[in-house]
Amino acid sequence: MEIDHNFYMNLALQEAWKYQVLTYPNPAVGCCVVGKHGEILAVEAHHKAGEPHAEVNALQKAYYQLTNNSEILELFTSHDIHTFLIKNHNNLFNECSVYTTLEPCSHVGKTPSCANLLSSLGVKKVYVGANDFNEEAAQGNEILQNNNIEVETQVLEKECSDLLLPFKNYIKGRFVFFKWAQRLNGTFDQGSISSAESKKQVHLMRDKCDLLIIGGNTVRIDRPTLDARLVNGKAPDVLIISREKEFDKNIPLFGIENRKVFIADNFDVMKHYKNIMIEGGDILYELTKDFVDLYLCYLAPKIGGERAFKNIDDELEILNADKAGEDIIMWMKKAQK
Ligand SMILES: NC(=O)C1=CN([C@@H]2O[C@H](COP(=O)(O)OP(=O)(O)OC[C@H]3O[C@@H](n4cnc5c(N)ncnc54)[C@H](OP(=O)(O)O)[C@@H]3O)[C@@H](O)[C@H]2O)C=CC1
Ligand SMILES: Nc1c(N[C@@H]2O[C@H](COP(=O)(O)O)[C@@H](O)[C@H]2O)[nH]c(=O)[nH]c1=O
């Protein structure tokens, strides 16, 4: 395998996708710090809005790799890590390169500016995937260049832009993704399919989304709860898509405090929500295909079940594939025809 700039950027991308959607309303971002001999010092991502950016997490780990000083690992806020690095860097990063999927931020918001931090540390070169189109945070490249840091842009630009698709939609007002679990023979029915790790990931996503859409039949068959209990998270509001008006109110999803449940044969209520997850089968897939932005499939190494996605003639493009426990997880968008 050729170890080139794309190789390092790919590591940053792969790490960032693990937190896709979980950084809402922030973008998913990854960062890789490389030492003077090409050795990987850190591969990190932004985990959650309000917490350190990918660059800060990666520089924290890289500092530890270079110094073995574990004091820095005891710091958790972006502000504390910035302050520590600026005070203690001792020009350690002068020969290091930094690969970041998104232009380092220029503005001081909930966290200090990453472009300023990289400038203060005097890193050798910064490789950037996609430029920031969020006007508030853009101009990071310019700050770096004004501080004599070499900057190379558009490294794996298409892949880094795809990573930002949810964020672009948050900014426009609404992001919708369709998630389902299936077996190797394409079936999605008859109970538990996913690994424990996948189920935990799905609960992290439920915790972050504000509306969960589900089919009427699923509610009648599964009698689901649709909360985020595996991660002690909050339960999203629920929209049941159905031709029926009434459901058995003893079904656990109706018993969750502070949750709204809508029952409708249309999607109008979506206009009040910004981060929407659909958990559905083939019928819901057809009903929602005009407005779904991304698809997320958990593929389990199992065979069984009965109902599969049939009579659907669609092509999707895989944007990222990873493992979640025993399952393969795939983020996809509609293929350009
Ligand atoms: N593996 C996974 O990730 C998932 C699996 N499932 C499984 O799928 C099975 C249930 O599938 P099903 O609910 O059919 O599939 P879908 O998730 O595709 O939901 C479709 C629902 O839409 C409603 N519907 C159909 N046509 C219309 C219409 N024209 N207007 C409004 N509503 C309409 C129906 O509800 P109604 O009949 O009330 O009108 C139907 O139940 C269950 O076994 C469940 O466990 C479900 C979700 C995710
Ligand atoms: N079986 C299955 C899923 N099924 C979805 O999860 C719902 C059950 O949610 P809850 O009652 O909160 O546990 C169910 O109705 C269906 O929408 N999802 C997955 O990620 N993997 C799985 O294997």
Are 34 and 119 in a shared domain?
Answer: yes
Same domain, 78 and 108: yes
CATH number at residue 34: 3.40.140.10
Between the CA of residue 257 and those of 5, 8, 247, 254, 261, what are the distances in Å? 50, 45, 18, 9, 11
- Is the overall model pTM greater than 0.90, yes or no? yes
Residue nearest to atom 14 of ligand 1 (CA): 217
pLDDT digits (tens, 9 = 90+) for 205-233: 999 999 999 999 999 999 999 999 999 99
How far apart are the C-alpha atoms of 223 and 248, rounded to whole Å? 9
Q: Based on the fold, state whether residues 226 and 153 are members of the same structural domain.
A: no
Residues 106 and 222 placed together within one structural domain of the fold: no
Residues (pLDDT < 70) of the chain are 1-2, 135-137
- 270: which 2 tokens? 């979506």
> What is the rounded radius of gyration, in angstroms, for the C-alpha atoms of the chain?
22
Give the domain CATH number at 293. 3.40.430.10
Rounded distance from Cα 218 to ligand 1 centre (Å): 5
Burial profile 260-279: b = 16 or more Cβ within 10 angstroms, e = fewer: ebbbeeebebbeebbbbbbb
Query: Is ligand 1 within 6 A of the CB of residue 282?
Result: yes
Q: What confidence score (pLDDT) does residue 2 get?
A: 64
Ligand 2 pocket: which of 179, 193, 326 to mutate (most atoms within 8 A of CB): 193
Pair 217, 251 in one domain: yes
**Residue 159 sits in the same domain as residue 290:** no
What are the two backbone dihedrals, phi and then psi, of residue 115, each rounded to the nearest 5 degrees?
-65, -40
Contact status, residue 254 vs residue 284, Cβ threshold 8 Å = no
Ligand 2: centre distance to CA 230 (Å): 12
C-alpha–C-alpha distance, residues 106 and 93, integer Å? 20
- Say if residue 11 is in the same domain as residue 62: yes
Starting from the CA of residue 212, give the closest ligand: 2
Residue with tokens 């023979």: 185
Q: Is the CB of 221 under 6 A from ligand 1?
A: yes
Report the alpha-carbon distance of residue 334 to residue 137 in Å, rounded: 29
Tell me the C-alpha distance between 160 and 32, whole Å.
14
The span from the CA of 57 to the CA of 84, in Å, is: 13
Q: Are 54 and 150 members of one domain?
A: yes
303: alpha, beta or left? (left if phi > 0; alpha if psi -120 to 50): beta
Q: Cα–Cα distance between 97 and 91 in angstroms, integer?
A: 13
Distance CA 97, CA 94 (A): 8
CB of 218 sitting under 6 A from ligand 2: yes
Is residue 59 located within the same domain as residue 155?
Answer: yes
Atom of ligand 1 minimally distant from the CA of 243: 39
* Tally of structural domains, the chain: 2
Ligand 2 closest atom vs CA 202 = 20
Rounded distance between C-alpha atoms, residue 285 and residue 315, angstroms: 13
Q: Are residues 78 and 53 in the same domain?
A: yes
Atom of ligand 1 minimally distant from the CA of 214: 17
Write down the pLDDT at residue 3: 76
Domain stops at, among 125, 154, 169: 169
Q: Is the C-beta atom of 280 inside 6 A of ligand 1? A: yes
Domain boundary among 128, 152, 169: 169
Let me know how many helices (H) and strands (E) the chain has, helices first.
Answer: 10, 13
pLDDT at 197: 97
Considering 169, 189, 215, which residue would you say is the last residue of a domain? Answer: 169
**Residue 296 and residue 215 in one domain:** yes
In angstroms, what is the span from residue 192 Cα to ligand 2's centroid?
7
> Is the domain of 138 the same as that of 206?
no
Domain range spanning residue 255?
A: 174-334
What CA–CA distance (Å, rounded) separates 317 from 208? 25
Please choose, from the candidates 24, 45, 50, the residue with its C-alpha nearest in 3D space to the C-alpha of residue 33: 45
